[in-house]
Amino acid sequence: MSKLLTSSLMVITALGLVVVVVLYMSNEPQQANAAAHGHAQMAAHGSSPAAHKVWQGGIEGHVTDAEGQPVPGVILFATNAPGKTGLISRCYSDSKGRFRFDRLAPGTYRVHGEKTDAGFLPLTSGFHSAGGPPPLEVTVGENEVVQNVTVQLGPKGAMLIAKIIDATTKHGIKDAHVTLRRADNPYMAYSTSVNLIKRKGVFKTAVPAVPITVEVSATGYEPTQIGPLNFNADNKEQITIPLRPIPAP
């Protein structure tokens, strides 16, 4: 039952009589407005508990090299697997090679680690993964922390440092583009540019210990290809690649 609000109004008529008029008002519109405002606030702030669900699943373990030795300072990635894409979480291994992913929803994750600056080859690249272990998949239940997971890094490759120069002036070419291809499978390629580091015309990357061809191009220069080149694992290889300027017409 709705409540009625009353108020009075005194009116003086033409005959000098005072008439008191009682006005009746329902408060239903105010209640409806208040209810609508309340629903709007709930919608704005999200009334569903599932919208704010914080999962407590996790994956923890340690990172090793091919000999089983712990490796510190590795960046680890947990992605959807299989058939899905997208980075879910990442973390770093500590000084003893230990790592932990937190707040994971239930599901299957593909876990891998990278430390290319130390010569370890990334297993997610077909060009680099020569003789590495298969991808590691871990299934996490609701609020489950999967423990004692061992992530093995890929094999060590060579560290290739190449300088691209003008064949005439011997100056570095800063806008050159480089494509590395495996001689055993040319479809497995890796592309990079030379402006990734501060030294002009120089690029640095880890390469597998298999025969590789190097293709280089730059605006205003004739493209060139060298190789196949052979690299030894865990070695640093330095090469210089000259490009000839295209003659003026």
Based on the fold, state whether residues 77 and 117 are members of the same structural domain: yes
Which of 120, 152, 184 is where one domain is finished? 152
One domain for residues 111 and 172: no
- Report whether pLDDT(61) > 70: yes
Name the residue range of residue 209's domain: 158-243
Q: Check: CB of residue 97 under 8 Å from CB of residue 72.
A: yes
- Mean pLDDT over each residue of the chain, to the nearest integer: 77
Q: For residue 84, name the pLDDT band (cuts at 50, 70, 90).
A: low
Distance CA(52)–CA(6), nearest Å, equals 46
Decide: helix, strand or coil at residue 186. strand
Highest mean pLDDT among 4-13, 64-73, 123-132: 64-73
pLDDT of residue 82: 62
pLDDT tier, 38 (very low <50, low <70, confident <90, very high otherwise): very low
Query: Do 59 and 146 touch, CB atoms closer than 8 A?
Result: yes
Q: What is the CATH number for 103?
A: 2.60.40.10
Higher-confidence residue of 45 and 116: namely: 116
pLDDT of 88 higher than 90:
no
Q: For residues 131 and 64, state if they share a domain.
A: yes
Q: Give the separation between CA 16 and CA 53, rounded to whole angstroms.
A: 72
Say yes or no: 79 and 112 in one domain.
Answer: yes
113 within some domain: yes
Alpha carbon distance 236, 98 (integer Å): 28
Q: What's the pLDDT tens digit per position in 3-30?
A: 434 444 444 444 344 444 444 444 444 4
- Boundary of a domain, candidates 152, 183, 210: 152
In which band, very low, low, confident or very high, does the pLDDT at 87 lie, cut at 50, 70 and 90? low
Report, as an integer, the average pLDDT of 101-107: 91
Residue 62: predicted pLDDT = 96
Residue 195: per-residue pLDDT: 57
Where b means 16+ CB within 10 Å and e means fewer, 52-73 reads eeeeebbbebbbbbeeeeebee
